[in-house]
Chains A and B, each alone.
Chain A
């Protein structure tokens, strides 16, 4: 149970979908925390101390102890503050189902999306096709449910919704229309945005695009080689 003297600090970077997941989880549980924005071209000594292995955000520091990796952090939050707004279901099979889809989202959405926006020609065309395919598979999993979690917002919804911030980028750099290709996903996203924990947390789509452009303008030696695992080294097709 959360006590008044519990210390929660999030090593954060607002545009990152991975830190966004953690911020949504913290908001769902009604937790107060300190957010420290990292400069990823100049990582703080705290970040390097708390995540020496991957040196990436997000890191949640709870009473001085670090937890790393976004969905590991989300599960931790769900387990410690288990008295309200459960993110994972209680049934083991349903839990496995949720973990499977969050893992799918991790393996597909971000790597394929990033490949698409950073590449040209054939590679771009192939990854665009893969990305649409991936969203269609997710639509299939969503089915007629309001959320991936069923009647309420849950673990899978939380793992996917931060990528809504990427839609303008996908559409502009990929020359596609997500609402045309995957209308159910867009409906679902709008439903999630009605939740304060989501709407107050998600990075604005245009802002994300601008941040990405700025990062990729870093010149021949981009300032940041990795941004919460975004690698903007343009790929040759």
Chain B
């Protein structure tokens, strides 16, 4: 096989490029990493992702692929070892559904409304997040991972729940994923985090805490109640 050039454009903190890193590592694909400073985007990033100007971008033999879930499917199609999606079309559809659900409903609400709002708006976002977590808890019934016996696309898409989510909980001072209410989700978080590839990739927690805390402070302005 000819040498393949694989590069991932990422930031140190964002959970989206982390998905791509995990997928490539799990598949044993060699790649280079380019760290971006999103306050000062490189000309290459703007060239490879002119539409969204975001990370992650996967560059494969000079061709860019953007949007983390799109990249995951590409990676899964190009490198067949450690498959992320099942073979059966109905199971694949379910996996795609849950990955989308995770992003559209859970992640979006956490990073925008739970982290960046307060008062009634935040309360409502918390209620809605708990409702959505219940669906995920239900989906884990009888399974070790969302992907079954081994991790798959959905586990990777939801991976941020096992790390970044708790940082937000700590900042707002509210625990949403409680052991009693979400025993399966808590077990999944531990199993997922125990995977060496995952464990080795987490960003430094204290830096992440500071970063998210500063987002919250900026969003709420100077008159932030504690």
Residues of A at the B interface (CB closer than 8 Å) are 53-54, 62, 65, 67-69, 72-73, 75-76, 79-80, 92-93, 95-97, 99-100, 103-104, 137
Contact residues in A for B67 (Cβ distance below 8 Å): 99-100, 103
Q: Contacts A95-B74, A96-B71, A96-B74 known; A73 to B93 CB distance under 8 Å? A: yes
Interface size class of chain B, counting residues whose CB lies under 8 Å from the partner chain: 20 to 34
Q: B215: CB under 8 A from chain A? A: no
Residues of B at the A interface (CB closer than 8 Å) are 51, 60, 63, 65-67, 69-71, 73-74, 77-78, 89-90, 92-94, 96-97, 100-101, 135
Per DSSP, are chain B's interface residues mostly helix, strand or loop, or mixed? helix
Contact residues in B for A54 (Cβ distance below 8 Å): 101
Pair A99/B70 contact, Cβ less than 8 Å: yes
Q: Contacts A53-B135, A96-B74, A100-B66 known; A80 to B89 CB distance under 8 Å? A: yes
Pair A76/B66 contact, Cβ less than 8 Å: no
Of B73, B94, B100, B101, the residue contacting A96 (CB under 8 A) is B73
Pair A79/B92 contact, Cβ less than 8 Å: yes
Of B66, B71, B96, the residue contacting A75 (CB under 8 A) is B96
CB distance from B189 to the nearest CB of A (A): 21
Which of chain B's residues has its CB closest to A103's CB?
Answer: B67
Contact residues in B for A68 (Cβ distance below 8 Å): 97
CB distance from B220 to the nearest CB of A (A): 22
Pair B101/A53 contact, Cβ less than 8 Å: yes
Of A65, A79, A137, the residue contacting B51 (CB under 8 A) is A137
Q: Contacts A79-B89, A104-B51 known; A93 to B74 CB distance under 8 Å? A: yes
CB distance from A128 to the nearest CB of B (A): 20
Pair B65/A69 contact, Cβ less than 8 Å: no
Pair B70/A93 contact, Cβ less than 8 Å: no
Of B65, B66, B78, B100, the residue contacting A72 (CB under 8 A) is B100
Contact residues in A for B90 (Cβ distance below 8 Å): 62, 65, 67, 76
Which of chain A's residues has its CB closest to B66's CB?
Answer: A100
Contact residues in B for A65 (Cβ distance below 8 Å): 90
Contact residues in A for B51 (Cβ distance below 8 Å): 104, 137
Contact residues in A for B92 (Cβ distance below 8 Å): 75-76, 79
Beyond the given A69-B97, A93-B60, please list 4 additional residue pairs across the A-B interface where CB-CB is below 8 A.
Answer: A53-B135, A72-B97, A95-B74, A96-B70
CB distance from B88 to the nearest CB of A (A): 10
Of A69, A96, A97, the residue contacting B96 (CB under 8 A) is A69
CB distance from B119 to the nearest CB of A (A): 19
Contact residues in A for B74 (Cβ distance below 8 Å): 92-93, 95-96
